[in-house]
Amino acid sequence: MKGDSRSASEGAQRTTFEVEKEDEGLRLDQLVARRVPGLSRQRARLVIELGGVFVDRARVKILGRRLQSGARVEVNLGGALERASKRLGAAARARDTESLPPYAIVHEDDSIVVVEKPARLLTAPTPESDRHNLADLLGRRLRRRVWVVHRLDLETSGLLVFAKTGEAGRVLASAFRSHDVEREYLAAVAGEEAPQEGQIEAPVGGRSAVSHVSVLEPLAEGAWLVRVRLETGRTHQVRIHMRGVDHPVLGDLRYGWRTRSDPPRLALHACRLGFRHPVTGESLSFESPWPADLAAWLDRLRGRDQAKRTYAAESSSSSSNEGSSGIS
């Protein structure tokens, strides 16, 4: 039985195998359940329905498809399977879509659409699924294909631009590759001492990467609010660079650690996006404030920090008064 099982992406598992003579005549859901360890027939059907199965590199969603020996099958398991309703059918998938966090279109014209992505919504299709992502939702809403130009992590919120034509997509992709765009993030990071302001230059994934950090304000419980401007745009660049200087983004369980001030999700937000319009050449710039789902958490940290400062100031004043009284 030829096959292998390995990590496909963060939190995902990929299993590949070749259809053998003895497998001929089996339905695809039967074959996947038989060949993927620990996968029931019901879950095999769900994986296929979500779009997590490829046959000879093409995504296949037909449960009853029968394969010939020699066909190469790839099965992708992970977050998409865990987030989906366990029921099968169009109604279940529609409920999954309805449960997704809402996004907002902040700019649209004939060539581009700029969107504010919420946390816990994928940017684009993955090997695990072509459903329940922002590109798919936009395509359905606009009734046309959209081209993915860049991405934000699942737990990161903020601004993204999509192209509405292939030519606009090519121009924008070129601008992102040459770093001819402006990208800034707001992040709450850990650290008893203030992060050092200035440039961080350290490779990410074996490629050069440069970030510029400025401190906006101190927060309570060993936390800081910072602004990070990207000179390059590598995958997880902000998270990796801030961890590299011992100030990991709060809520980052991959590159950081748990703290007493953990947020409800990754405290990272793409707050500014600037680029030249792919058709007119006009300079465009968009800004997005700190997200609402982290606002109450940030206010609590600000309140605790203010209370701590007030207490320290009152204690200092009291000590000073006592000292003066003793001298007189």
> Does residue 158 share a domain with residue 52?
no
CATH code assigned at 184:
3.30.2350.10
> Does residue 144 share a domain with residue 275?
yes
**φ, ψ (nearest 5 deg) of residue 321:** -65, -40
Domain range for 242: 104-303
Last residue of a domain, one of 18, 51, 85: 85
Neighbour order of strands in the sheet with 3-7:
3-7, 13-18, 72-77, 53-55, 58-59
β-pair partners for 189: 224, 249
> Does residue 133 share a domain with residue 249?
yes
> Does residue 70 share a domain with residue 159?
no
Q: What is the pLDDT of residue 261?
A: 86
Q: What is the identity of the amino acid at 325?
A: S
Q: What is the identity of the amino acid at 178?
A: S
- Give the C-alpha separation, 72 to 54, whole Å: 8
> Does residue 78 share a domain with residue 218?
no
Summary mean pLDDT of the chain: 90
> Does residue 108 share a domain with residue 79?
no
pLDDT digits (tens, 9 = 90+) for 253-286: 999 999 988 999 999 999 999 999 999 999 999 9
Q: What is the pLDDT of residue 86?
A: 85
Q: What is the pLDDT along the chain (328 residues), one digit of tens a residue?
A: 445 544 345 567 999 999 999 998 899 999 999 999 999 999 999 999 999 999 999 999 999 999 999 999 999 998 888 888 888 888 988 888 888 999 999 999 999 999 999 999 999 999 999 989 999 999 999 999 999 999 999 999 999 999 999 999 999 999 999 999 999 999 999 999 999 999 999 999 999 999 999 999 999 989 999 999 999 999 999 999 999 999 999 999 999 999 988 999 999 999 999 999 999 999 999 999 999 999 999 999 998 655 555 434 444 544 444 444 332 2
**CA angle, 152 then 59 then 76, to 5°:** 60
Q: Does residue 48 lie within any of the structural domains?
A: yes
Instruction: Specify the residue for token string 């204690």.
Output: 315
Q: Does residue 98 lie within any of the structural domains?
A: no
> Does residue 61 share a domain with residue 117?
no
Q: Does residue 46 lie within any of the structural domains?
A: yes
3-state secondary structure 176-190: HHCCCCEEEEEEEEE
Q: What is the pLDDT of residue 6?
A: 40
> Does residue 299 share a domain with residue 173?
yes
Number of domains comprising the chain: 2
CATH code assigned at 27:
3.10.290.10
Q: Catalytic residue at 29?
A: no
What tokens were used for 1?
Answer: 């039985």
Catalytic residue among 23, 96, 136, 153: 153
> Does residue 277 share a domain with residue 151?
yes
Q: What is the pLDDT of residue 325?
A: 34
Distances (CA, A) of 19 to 1, 73, 156: 9, 7, 39
Q: Does residue 109 lie within any of the structural domains?
A: yes
User: What is the reported pTM?
Assistant: 0.85
**CA angle, 165 then 122 then 76, to 5°:** 105
Q: Does residue 205 lie within any of the structural domains?
A: yes
Q: What is the pLDDT of residue 80?
A: 86
> Does residue 270 share a domain with residue 143?
yes
What tokens were used for 101?
Answer: 């966090």
Q: Does residue 29 lie within any of the structural domains?
A: yes
